[in-house]
Chain A
Amino acid sequence: MRLERRERTPPLLLVAAPMAAIVTALVLCSLLIGLAGAPVLAAYATLFQEALGSRLGITETLTRATPLILTGLGAAVAFRARFWNIGLEGQFYLGAIAVAALGSADWGLPPALLVPLLLLAGALAGALFLLGPALLKLRLGVDEVVTTLLLNFVAILLVSLLIEGPMKDPLAFGWPQSVPVTEAGLLPQLLARTRLHLGFALALLAALAIAFLNARTVFGLSARAVGLGTPAARHAGIPVGRVLLLTAMLSGALAGLAGAVEVTGLKGYVTTDLSPGFGTAGVIVAMLASLNPLGVVPAAIFVAAVFVGADAMARAHGVPSFIADVIVATALLTMLVALFLTEYRVRR
């Protein structure tokens, strides 16, 4: 077997790749569902029925997709420039805790002013948490993968420290959680009697903005040039260091915004299990979207649907709900192969 690079990729292949990857992942995971003794088709039916089969299910899925769109964008932005920010989880928590810290005080501001300020603070906190690894990478060449991965643990410990200490809610019956954000600091609901909040619209807006930034601005072209060919970009006079730093800050800000939105839109306070892996799942979302900002939205909805539906599958068929994690991780691997096949063909 030999591999040959394609000169042109048929456009159909680009659309078909994620579909094929997801179907392959579902087929592979059906083996595991079978191993649990559950009927495969019925189990999958339960999963998607729960996640997409009702108004409530759909809104739950979209609610779950909201932070995933934002972390997915964060990953896509950074990976495009070959900056491997794997610390989205940590930046998510920093964004969340910053919002909780500021939002629990009574500032006497109207919601229209307070909410944007809080979200901005969350984004800023996420960006600042990535500043260290970004500078270490640019100044000293320290690999950002390892530093951002390690800082995830530091972030969780920091949050744990704060919500067990200075930010602890005295009314929470001893549970470690932060003092809730005041009413004026919360995002409004989008639909009555659901949990879907304005954050979802913000996430869609962010996806559009990033797509525009990538395709139509000097910064976007510079970032793409840096990612696809750093020496040539440097030779062309693009300030590579500055572009990478800005890209990193944007990536961290998006992850921080995800945390801020999750607190102000849904939970109202911070615990150490605020994120069921939104950061790492963001990487999966970005890859499923082939780093395309608009593709991030459907990719995030798919991942969210799997997570929302998996609990129902667990209840109905006795399949451990970890199956959701397995499905999306498998989808990441199959997507990598699918992307490869859009670039290469296999020749005998």
Chain B
Amino acid sequence: MTEFWDIVLAASFWAAALRLATPLIFGTLGALIGERSGVLNLGIEGIMTAGAMTGWLSVHLGAPLWLGIAVAAVAGGTIGLLHAALTVRLGLSQHVTGLGITLFSVSLSSYLYRLYVPASGSPPKITPFAPVHLPVLSDLPWLGPAFFQHTALTWLALLTVLLVAWLLWRTPLGLAIRMAGESPEACEAQGVSVFSLRTGAVVAGSALMAIGGAFLTTAAFDSFYFSMIQGRGWVCIALVVFASWQPGKALLGALLYGMFDAFQLRLQPLVPGVPYQLFLMMPYLLSIAALVLVSRRARVPQALMQPYRPGER
């Protein structure tokens, strides 16, 4: 029990929790926007990989950090456009297409990385984002290192939660996106193009996912590794369900996940008898448990995964 308090009372635990949650916040919001419009984006794992690779590579080749983030967002958006073209315009199976998008982006990212960075002993490093120093707050004892020494990307993630919530609940565009996910026919009957809405939502969501990936290589770490996303994208898909498609709850879910992850990482060295693999399994099993927990009351957008094909008879 003392181990528990030792871990939880350390400022570094809280800092790590939010740091681990950051890519999930981006990814979950990105998936959430798409699903609200009716499109499941299983390309997420690949899009995050692409974001991680392109963001890092841009900086490695000399671009400023923020330009790297922009490149990642554009790369993610482009892949999202491909997903939308296949699933929205052609109405292909969102499951299979999304998986294909993931395989495609992961392999393409690996290929391009290897093309520009030949194999060597250890992967090259860049100078990553530094924590933003906030006057007074960052210098507070305990609270400062726990909560106020994050990089700009983490603050951006939190801001994005507010923006997405505002978009969905307070703007005409948000209403249209939700309508496209509930009843595309109703949307179209009112003269709002379902194709445009869904395509836009998937592209924007994919850009967010890619920024989440880029956070890993330009803020949390300083180099790119193959398969570094490690299922984070799939966790995001689970978190969207856990969050009942609501941005606020998505933030909550990502934070809980981050806390759990930070906790198990710190617990590992304290209980040497238990194989480390058991700890690493926990987050995945936890995600499944979360899905089971909400399964009974999940309020799925009615038209999720249903292609809209006008004039079909």
Does B associate with A?
yes
Distance (Å) between the CB of B274 and the closest chain A CB? 10
Q: 0/1 per residue, A121-160, Cβ < 8 Å to B? A: 0000000000000001000111101110111111001101
Q: Which of B96, B111, B277, B292 contacts A323 (CB 8 A)?
A: B111
Interface pair A150/B241, CB less than 8 Å apart = no
Residue B209 is within 8 A (CB to CB) of chain A in the complex: no
Interface pair B111/A320, CB less than 8 Å apart = yes
Measured in the bound complex, the distance between the Cα atoms of B95 and A283 in whole Å is 11
Interface size on A, residues (CB 8 A): 47
Q: Which of A141, A151, A333 contacts B104 (CB 8 A)?
A: A333
Residues of A within 8 A of B (CB): 2-3, 5, 32, 35-36, 79, 84, 86, 136, 140-143, 145-147, 149-154, 157-158, 160-161, 164-165, 280, 283-284, 287, 320, 322-323, 325-326, 328-330, 332-333, 336-337, 340, 344
Measured in the bound complex, the distance between the Cα atoms of B312 and A146 in whole Å is 31
Interface of B (DSSP majority class) = helix
Interface of A (DSSP majority class) = helix
Q: How large is the interface on B (under 10, 10 to 19, 20 to 34, 35 or more residues)?
A: 35 or more
The residue of chain A having its C-beta at the shortest distance from the C-beta of B86 within the complex is A336
Q: Which of B25-54 contact A (CB under 8 A)?
A: 42
Given the known interface contacts A3-B309, A32-B111, A146-B291, the answer about A332 and B103 at a Cβ–Cβ threshold of 8 Å is: yes
Interface pair B277/A160, CB less than 8 Å apart = yes
Residue B64 is within 8 A (CB to CB) of chain A in the complex: no
Interface pair A161/B278, CB less than 8 Å apart = yes
Q: Which of B42, B96, B285 contacts A154 (CB 8 A)?
A: B285
Measured in the bound complex, the distance between the Cα atoms of B109 and A323 in whole Å is 11
Q: Which of B74-91 contact A (CB under 8 A)?
A: 82, 86, 90
Residues in A neighbouring B238, C-beta threshold 8 A = 146, 150
Q: Which of B293-313 contact A (CB under 8 A)?
A: 295-296, 298, 309, 311-312
- Give the interface segment out of B11-19, B121-129, B131-139, B228-236: B228-236
Distance (Å) between the CB of B286 and the closest chain A CB? 10
Q: Which of A84, A146, A152, A326 contacts B107 (CB 8 A)?
A: A326
Interface pair A340/B90, CB less than 8 Å apart = yes
Interface pair A150/B288, CB less than 8 Å apart = yes
